[in-house]
Amino acid sequence: MQVTPVAGALGAEISGVDLRDPGFDFAGVYQALLDHEVIFFREANLTEAEHLALGERFGTPSIFPVARLMGATEPTMTVIADGPHSANAADAWHTDVTWTATPPKCALLHMELAPERGGDTLWCSATAAFDALSEPMQQFLSGLTAVHDNEGFIEGVMKKAGDAAESLAEGLRRDYPPVQHPLIRTHPETGKKAILYAGRFLKHIEGLTDAESTSVLQLIDDHVKEPRFHCRWRWTNGDLAIWDERSTLHRAAADHFPQERIIRRLEIDGDRPY
Ligand SMILES: [Fe+2]
């Protein structure tokens, strides 16, 4: 197994591993995920069943909240298609589904149809971003609690879900009310501190005035945008990315329109951040 870093802060490409062989070095792959925060397999070419089976090695595959509301009782793949008629919903830095009490542990993203040009995904190391803050700022942020909600997500659902949109929005508000998370979380396995930033899911910081909360969130937003904390993956069909949701942010680069881009994503259940 070869592990080749793709950038200074995070990300590594893994080669020499057949993920479809049940005897592959899972411990080695998992350690690479913890060490590099996002790992890439060029042309893994997994079927949906293989994708799911691989996900099960990492934990319990998630039933996505929208699918759960629609009656799903089995883990669900989310297929995200962006093209001339659909806006890219992931075109800003975020961590997935932080508006639940127990956001995902990690995610496995498989490229179904890569655009010929553009459509990269970027990841940001939330641990490197934390480490780069001054010590007084680290201490200040470490004492703060943030409120996350799903209004920004519901906005996207309303655009895509057609007739079902109203009842889905109602169900999402009922089943997933706003939730509090520490602004700085501790990774349960590595012990590293990470900024739990989630873009539009993060509404305000408890105990601060509105002006203070807005300024602090803007400071974090500017900070995580610095390229020194990032890596970027240029997709080809069948590529697989696995990232640790507890130590990274990610975003799409919506620069492939009007070409189509189709991905298949599986989330793995996580624990309550602390
Ligand atoms: Fe995402």
- Alpha carbon distance 120, 255 (integer Å): 8
Number of H helices, E strands in the chain: 8, 15
Residue 249 belongs to a domain: yes
**168 CA → ligand 1 middle, Å:** 19
Strand ranges across the sheet with 179-182: 179-182, 145-148, 202-205
Residue 116 belongs to a domain: yes
Residue 27 belongs to a domain: yes
Give the least confident one: 43-47, 117-121, 255-259: 255-259
Kindly state the percentage of the chain with pLDDT values over 70.
Answer: 99
* Contacts (Cβ under 8 Å, ≥6 apart) of 224: 93, 124, 126, 129, 195, 197, 249
Helix, strand, or coil here: 92? coil
Beta bridge partners of 243: 38, 107
**245 CA → ligand 1 middle, Å:** 9
Residue 225: CATH number of its domain: 3.60.130.10
pTM of the model: 0.95
Q: Within a 13 Å sphere around the CA of 215, how many CA atoms are in the beta-carbon half?
A: 5
Q: How far is CA 58 from CA 167, 202, 225, 228, 269, in A?
A: 33, 27, 29, 28, 9
Residue 273 belongs to a domain: no
Give the least confident one: 8-12, 55-59, 62-66: 62-66
Closest listed residue to residue 193, CA positions, set 247, 230, 143: 247
The pLDDT tens digits of the residues spanning 216-252 come to 999 999 999 999 999 999 999 999 999 999 999 999 9
**80 CA → ligand 1 middle, Å:** 10
Closest listed residue to residue 251, CA positions, set 227, 269, 273: 227
**62 CA → ligand 1 middle, Å:** 14
- Alpha carbon distance 205, 200 (integer Å): 13
* Catalytic residue list: 94, 96, 250, 265
> How many independent structural domains does the chain possess?
1
State which residues form the domain around 170.
2-268
Residue 85 belongs to a domain: yes
Residue 274 belongs to a domain: no
Query: 87 falls in which pLDDT band (50, 70, 90)?
Result: low
